[in-house]
Amino acid sequence: MASYIESLPDGWTIYLWLIIGAMIIAAVLYWIRWAAKNEQFNEDIKYVVFNEDDKEKMDPEEYVKSREVMKSQMESRERFLAQEAERNKKSA
């Protein structure tokens, strides 16, 4: 193997780096696409940590926003669980 690498002409490593760089870029684009499809870029997720006991600690509009976000998160969760159940039925 070492003799094969030594027999290659000068400058071959740049092609190796280009191929590896292209693979990294492709992987990053794939994971960004996956994250966008799976609701991973939701900035309102910070409101999920609040519950009914935090009402007096929050501004009224912030509390309303937290309840709306929590409702949408629960709907998303139910939708995901329904899709998983459907997939499990098809695979069984």
* Integer Cα distance of 72 and 47 in angstroms: 11
Q: Full-prediction pTM beyond 0.75?
A: no
Write the pLDDT tens digit of every residue in 16-49: 999 999 999 999 999 999 999 887 887 887 777 8
Per DSSP, the residues of 35-88 read: HHHTT---GGGGGGG--GGGGGGS-HHHHHHHHHHHHHHHHHHHHHHHHHHHHH
Mean pLDDT (whole number) for 72-90:
90
* Integer Cα distance of 30 and 33 in angstroms: 5
The residues spanned by each domain of the chain are 11-41, 43-92
